[in-house]
A and B are shown apart, each in its own frame.
Chain A
């Protein structure tokens, strides 16, 4: 079947999509966007996290056909050209990236958190990231990165008016 959807603001189309295929496969294998990672294909690791119509989802659990006409935002759409997004910059500075496999999914999930919560507590950070596994860092640096990014994006601890 043919699937048309918007990814990072651009309309994309793919033909001969298999009916049981996931949005993750569509993104990685057909649309040339391998930033979202495939680690478990069962919703457990969060490395495939993307925005779909403003909500974060595991792309491995969305059928490609369900993405028809929808608005997708992936890690490839986070930075502005070569300028890292403040969340990416914070991850780099705090050592929150080791092998980097979990990073794209985490960045999207953190972007969602900081959109809704200007100054999250550690518990709120942990809850927001409960579905994103990292095998390398032990999470402390990731939580540090979120604190740093929050402070930079929302310096007053509140949403800018």
Chain B
């Protein structure tokens, strides 16, 4: 095995081009577990932690956040709570302080676990993943990024440079089911983002299908139903919330596994969808955003 520590992005891309089977290493919270406990021995470990542009974020010209792949959960929580509240909420539920100090958003996308906590909030706001190789870079819409269980749309020569995330234009929520309040992989999870500006609703479901997914039907139904309600200051009709929750649950394709049964996940999704929509909507109208 080799260990390579590029100090610049170009150097990292060149290394990946020369050794497409090199394993990128960011916070190591997935990679090191695998090295410690399994027989997997990649020919080359490509340490990305010394590339300055990966560990910072910036504002794009069109007002989105370009989050370097190596930005940690801790940074998201401490620095981006206002801009990316859904992602920050999800980040707060990840692992423990030690894991949040090291684990990165890019690593979560690289691992592409159906249970990854970044994925539902990124799906709910329509983020784009910026990937690059020596040939150039391209943007992958987040709905097209996850291609199977722990598989993503990266080609072997590519690395994740950043994820480009629209800043919040309304309340966002994230909810996750697990056996305790810390250190749990989601049994299932759900994110919602209200866009009061465009008057649309985004969703993301985790751990209830082979990949993280959006609940397209639920989004369409609610966006349509809300048309007449954005200007009104008041709670949502109960039957609309219920309809949304059922639509979210039917979008999922959960399985039975050690963490929970398919039926439990389906039920939990209706509960999370109902609660998160209610929290987000109540924040929307009670904070006076409805008048804006």
Q: Which residues of A contact B (CB under 8 A)?
A: 1, 18-20, 22, 41-44, 46, 49, 55-58, 60-63, 65-66, 68, 109, 112, 127-128, 130-132
In the bound complex, do residue A109 and residue B183 qualify as a contact, i.e. CB atoms below 8 Å apart?
Answer: no
- Residue of B25, B95, B101 near A63 (CB, 8 A) is B25
- Residue of A19, A46, A56 near B2 (CB, 8 A) is A19
Q: What's the nearest-Cβ distance from chain A to residue B5, in Å?
A: 6
- Residue of A55, A63, A109, A132 near B47 (CB, 8 A) is A63
Are A60 and B36 also in contact (CB < 8 A) when A128-B97, A131-B98, A131-B183 are?
yes
In the bound complex, do residue B98 and residue A43 qualify as a contact, i.e. CB atoms below 8 Å apart?
Answer: yes
How far does the alpha carbon of A62 sit from the alpha carbon of B29 in the complex, in Å?
8
Q: What's the nearest-Cβ distance from chain A to residue B234, in Å?
A: 33
Q: Does B32 sit within 8 A of A, measured CB to CB?
A: yes
Q: Does B41 sit within 8 A of A, measured CB to CB?
A: yes
Would you list the 8 A-B pairs with minimal beta carbon distance, nearest first? A131-B96, A130-B182, A19-B3, A41-B36, A19-B1, A61-B32, A65-B3, A55-B101
Closest to A38 in B: B36
**From B41, B49, B102, residue with most partner A Cβ within 10 Å:** B102
In the bound complex, do residue B3 and residue A63 qualify as a contact, i.e. CB atoms below 8 Å apart?
Answer: yes
In the bound complex, do residue B33 and residue A130 qualify as a contact, i.e. CB atoms below 8 Å apart?
Answer: no
Encoded as 1 (CB less than 8 Å from any A CB) or 0, chain B from 60 to 97 comes to 00000000000000100000000000000000000111
Chain A contacts for B32, CB-based, 8 A: 22, 43, 60-63
How far does the alpha carbon of A49 sit from the alpha carbon of B36 in the complex, in Å?
16
Closest to B36 in A: A41
Task: Give chain B interface residues in 195-245, CB to chain A under 8 Å.
Answer: none
Q: What's the nearest-Cβ distance from chain A to residue B56, in Å?
A: 16
In the bound complex, do residue A65 and residue B47 qualify as a contact, i.e. CB atoms below 8 Å apart?
Answer: yes
Are A20 and B182 also in contact (CB < 8 A) when A43-B98, A63-B47 are?
no
Q: 13 extra interchain contacts, Cβ-Cβ under 8 A, other than A22-B36, A61-B28?
A: A18-B1, A43-B29, A55-B101, A55-B102, A57-B101, A58-B99, A61-B102, A63-B35, A127-B97, A130-B181, A131-B95, A131-B96, A131-B99
